[in-house]
Chain A
């Protein structure tokens, strides 16, 4: 009795917790609200199965508890029942899978009008690079990384000259414009994660990974690293700010191009040379 009741109460309690606990996802800030929908669909289907099976177990424990004089039923198999259950499960699983694959297809297919942003991760922080007026990100190689060239751009590549280098952990993106994050790390694995955006992808040294999204509301969001990257993992935070076009332009205008940065550092070098000569 107690056992049956406990299983019953655990089930009811789980449902109550699900609907009334304060812990639920953050308000979505990108087009990936359909990921939330697939989660909800999964909740309904799996939740129904969970409740049905738990209630069945509770009922059995209550109804068929041991009596010395009673014998259990002797029924080793029931082919018909087994095949029905198998098919029902297969259909349920297909119902979960199909919408999942549809959304995944959208997730891995970047729209053509998406603009690119490079997210640059290192132990332990974030930087960003925008393609500049030509819309193209210049090529990079980690062997060129030094104080004057923190992103390791290849100087000979003309596409890199107008790249905007954001040497800070704060990125601005445009509301309602699809953006493709090109994810790059120079050391270990990281993962560019903004809970409100839902998207995620590991960053792997040696290759550029990506994902895309369209921000849907203006706001200031925290960036977290979602792939363990060493002792500083938990402190690897940044910010993404979703702007309307006007505010975005203001921010963009403040960023410095690679060319300018080089000129500046050269000037410094020249100054140093002059100082040395003196």
Chain B
């Protein structure tokens, strides 16, 4: 106790001494540190350096590579499905394997790729660096978080090798079907899926606590909340959402595991299964849907908010312009996050829940369109009168705007309860969510990787390969999903192994399926180009200068680049401004890093932040 007081006193007297040494009031003053500098764990062996690392940067890379590896499996599964859909005559897949691939593709992409990559990957890499901390608050727990994720992935993959194969219940895992005969993997694969999700949630909670506490407690001196980069705001808010949302998934998974293994009836009513009356009775299948979507809808924003944040920063840096309406952007992120807990049942308009809920959830859902629209306006207003560099991150950000806009607007169809009735469970839905939470966030991920790659490796990724990758990915995925909406209008239902020659479906609709599949194969193959670029550039890439994009945020201001263990050398950075002081009138350069003291940029007409 007395030590602490001494420390505070000392800090205070330093400050007074500083202030008195110059005659003018000290314009470079920052609030004193509230916590002593962090003790770090230093690795001593190969194992603790490269495998069981406790350095957040390294854990971030581990998370990202594991997620990308799993995501590649998800990509291959989508190829297999699409080939079946386009060429049903080939007899390429059995219906059961088709449904297993659909299920695994969905779950892998949403949870094991996007969630893990944004929060585990970018969260770990960027939170300490952008906040000006040495590491996460609890490095050891952070390491455990990653390894729990690895085990979760392994359990998920193991389900391919159990009798009956992985679950084919659809990624929503709706009971009773998920655990009754008639669905592939109903007694083996599904259990492993549920266990894997439980592990994922446990691991994620360890990481998530770290992200939240690090942002709240370990920011550098002067880094107020309203000076944080929007990337951090996005990741932070998404993590808070995850902390509230994942428990619903967790209990849902636990209850279903019990229903399946112990014969309880949380979700199981009295029912017949392929001619045989089961012993369950009294459970509610809709209860599971409520739990699932209470997690599932915030989950959309758990993926989207980090993407929103990152893309805001990319747009600002690469158009050399202040992000437009920063405060509005922050409130929009927080507002969307809060509202996202009140819209879940818009996934359930035709689920058989009391239809009167439709009024409430349609209203809340359309309200959430307002802060989302504000974000779009502010992104495009950031471009207005900017000085737009068409670098790879900017290209992907522009691709994001178009894709997200398209996917967001189709959300207004599905969110508006009446319009949803004819469109729900058709390809319109598939097209909508792939645009809005598949392609759009993935474009941001690519942009972010091209942007922060030099920070990780000290080298730039190849620009030409990157451009080819961008054009194929952006145009190709638009060509896949834009026409797919129209299959939905025709009324082609989703999750159909084969549509046959239905009388209401024109043969041209089937032709469209072939076109989409070819586009899928091409876009998928283009990702190999990206992977090559990702790995080859680490050796062969052009050496990057320090702060190659001339960005303001702290991660580029470390004494070494790539930053070393502990990030900041001897002294932690001090922050004097927000990260968006680009093209300030009167300043020498077109950017002013967050840690540049006001006394060095006298004459620059910055607005106080």
Q: With the chains together, A247 CA to B416 CA distance in Å?
A: 38
**At the interface, yes or no: A245 with Cβ under 8 Å from chain B?**
no
Contact A231 B402 (CB under 8 A): no
Q: With the chains together, A75 CA to B606 CA distance in Å?
A: 10
Partner of B418 from A107, A229, A232 at Cβ < 8 Å: A107
**At the interface, yes or no: B508 with Cβ under 8 Å from chain A?**
yes
Closest Cβ of chain A: how far from B479's Cβ, in Å?
Answer: 10
Give the residues in chain B near A31, CB-CB below 8 Å: none
Contact A66 B177 (CB under 8 A): no
Annotate A45-66 by CB proximity to B: 1 below 8 A, 0 otherwise. Answer: 1100110011011001100111
Contact B419 A42 (CB under 8 A): yes
A to B contact number (C-beta, < 8 Å): 326
Partner of A74 from B380, B478, B497, B583 at Cβ < 8 Å: B583
Partner of A72 from B370, B482, B500, B590 at Cβ < 8 Å: B590
**At the interface, yes or no: B182 with Cβ under 8 Å from chain A?**
yes
Q: A6-B475, A7-B398, A142-B277 in contact; A93/B366 too (CB < 8 A)?
A: yes
Contact A50 B406 (CB under 8 A): yes
The A15-73 residues at the B interface (CB cut-off 8 A) are: 17, 21-26, 32, 35-36, 38-39, 42, 45-46, 49-50, 53-54, 56-57, 60-61, 64-67, 70-73
Q: With the chains together, A60 CA to B389 CA distance in Å?
A: 12
**At the interface, yes or no: A168 with Cβ under 8 Å from chain B?**
no
Partner of A108 from B277, B355, B374, B609 at Cβ < 8 Å: B355
Give the residues in chain A near B422, CB-CB below 8 Å: 25, 32, 35-36, 39, 195, 198-200
Annotate B360-392 by CB proximity to A: 1 below 8 A, 0 otherwise. Answer: 001100110110011011101101111111100
Q: With the chains together, A5 CA to B377 CA distance in Å?
A: 21
Q: With the chains together, A32 CA to B418 CA distance in Å?
A: 10
Annotate B431-446 by CB proximity to A: 1 below 8 A, 0 otherwise. Answer: 0000000000000000
Contact B182 A93 (CB under 8 A): no
The B251-285 residues at the A interface (CB cut-off 8 A) are: 269-274, 277, 283-285
Closest Cβ of chain B: how far from A206's Cβ, in Å?
Answer: 3
Give the residues in chain A near B367, CB-CB below 8 Å: 93
Give the residues in chain B near A45, CB-CB below 8 Å: 412
Partner of B402 from A7, A23, A42 at Cβ < 8 Å: A7
Give the residues in chain B near A198, CB-CB below 8 Å: 421-422
Annotate A224-248 by CB proximity to B: 1 below 8 A, 0 otherwise. Answer: 1111111111100100000000000
Number of A residues near B (Cβ < 8 Å) is 100
Contact B183 A230 (CB under 8 A): yes
Q: A66-B387, A193-B425 in contact; A76/B271 too (CB < 8 A)?
A: no
Q: With the chains together, A23 CA to B212 CA distance in Å?
A: 48
Annotate A181-207 by CB proximity to B: 1 below 8 A, 0 otherwise. Answer: 001001111010101101111111111
Q: A104-B362, A207-B352 in contact; A96/B412 too (CB < 8 A)?
A: yes
Partner of A187 from B182, B406, B418 at Cβ < 8 Å: B182
**At the interface, yes or no: B141 with Cβ under 8 Å from chain A?**
no
**At the interface, yes or no: A262 with Cβ under 8 Å from chain B?**
no
The B571-585 residues at the A interface (CB cut-off 8 A) are: 580, 582-585
Closest Cβ of chain B: how far from A200's Cβ, in Å?
Answer: 5
Give the residues in chain A near B405, CB-CB below 8 Å: 49-50, 53-54
Q: A82-B325, A85-B377, A196-B504 in contact; A60/B384 too (CB < 8 A)?
A: yes
Give the residues in chain A near B607, CB-CB below 8 Å: 76
Contact A25 B425 (CB under 8 A): no
Minimum CB distance partner of A22 in chain B: B508
Closest Cβ of chain B: how far from A191's Cβ, in Å?
Answer: 6
Q: With the chains together, A203 CA to B177 CA distance in Å?
A: 12
Closest Cβ of chain B: how far from A202's Cβ, in Å?
Answer: 4
Closest Cβ of chain A: how far from B371's Cβ, in Å?
Answer: 9
Give the residues in chain A near B402, CB-CB below 8 Å: 7, 10, 54, 57
Partner of B388 from A53, A66, A97 at Cβ < 8 Å: A66
The B276-296 residues at the A interface (CB cut-off 8 A) are: 277, 283-286
**At the interface, yes or no: B596 with Cβ under 8 Å from chain A?**
no
Give the residues in chain B near A71, CB-CB below 8 Å: 320, 387, 583, 585, 590
Give the residues in chain B near A123, CB-CB below 8 Å: 182, 273-274
**At the interface, yes or no: B512 with Cβ under 8 Å from chain A?**
yes
Give the residues in chain A near B395, CB-CB below 8 Å: 3
Give the residues in chain B near A54, CB-CB below 8 Å: 402, 405
The B311-329 residues at the A interface (CB cut-off 8 A) are: 319-328
Give the residues in chain A near B410, CB-CB below 8 Å: 46
Q: With the chains together, A209 CA to B369 CA distance in Å?
A: 30
Partner of A46 from B323, B384, B412, B426 at Cβ < 8 Å: B412
Give the residues in chain A near B531, CB-CB below 8 Å: none
Contact B176 A187 (CB under 8 A): yes
Contact B499 A96 (CB under 8 A): no
Q: A97-B366, A108-B355, A187-B180 in contact; A72/B387 too (CB < 8 A)?
A: yes
The B294-340 residues at the A interface (CB cut-off 8 A) are: 319-328
Contact B322 A74 (CB under 8 A): yes
Q: A72-B320, A77-B327 in contact; A26/B504 too (CB < 8 A)?
A: yes
Minimum CB distance partner of A102 in chain B: B418
Give the residues in chain B near A228, CB-CB below 8 Å: 99, 169-170, 174, 177, 495
Contact A142 B272 (CB under 8 A): yes
Give the residues in chain A near B423, CB-CB below 8 Å: 39
The A208-225 residues at the B interface (CB cut-off 8 A) are: 209, 220-222, 224-225
Partner of B486 from A23, A38, A187, A220 at Cβ < 8 Å: A23
Give the residues in chain A near B388, CB-CB below 8 Å: 60-61, 64-66
Q: With the chains together, A183 CA to B351 CA distance in Å?
A: 12
Minimum CB distance partner of A190 in chain B: B177
Q: With the chains together, A35 CA to B418 CA distance in Å?
A: 6
Minimum CB distance partner of B486 in chain A: A23
Closest Cβ of chain B: how far from A71's Cβ, in Å?
Answer: 4
Closest Cβ of chain A: how far from B495's Cβ, in Å?
Answer: 4
Give the residues in chain B near A105, CB-CB below 8 Å: 359
Q: With the chains together, A119 CA to B387 CA distance in Å?
A: 62
Contact A205 B385 (CB under 8 A): no
Give the residues in chain B near A229, CB-CB below 8 Å: 177, 182
Q: With the chains together, A46 CA to B496 CA distance in Å?
A: 29
Chain A interfacial positions (CB closer than 8 Å to B):
3, 6-7, 10, 14, 17, 21-26, 32, 35-36, 38-39, 42, 45-46, 49-50, 53-54, 56-57, 60-61, 64-67, 70-78, 81-82, 85-86, 89-90, 93-94, 96-97, 99-101, 103-105, 107-108, 122-124, 142-143, 145, 183, 186-189, 191, 193, 195-196, 198-207, 209, 220-222, 224-234, 237
Other A-B pairs beyond A25-B422, A74-B583, A105-B359, 7, CB < 8 Å:
A17-B482, A64-B387, A73-B386, A77-B327, A104-B355, A187-B182, A234-B499
Give 16 pairs: A residue, B residue, CB < 8 Å, sorted on A.
A6-B475, A38-B416, A73-B385, A86-B374, A93-B369, A97-B362, A122-B272, A142-B277, A186-B271, A188-B182, A191-B425, A195-B504, A200-B424, A206-B283, A231-B96, A231-B184
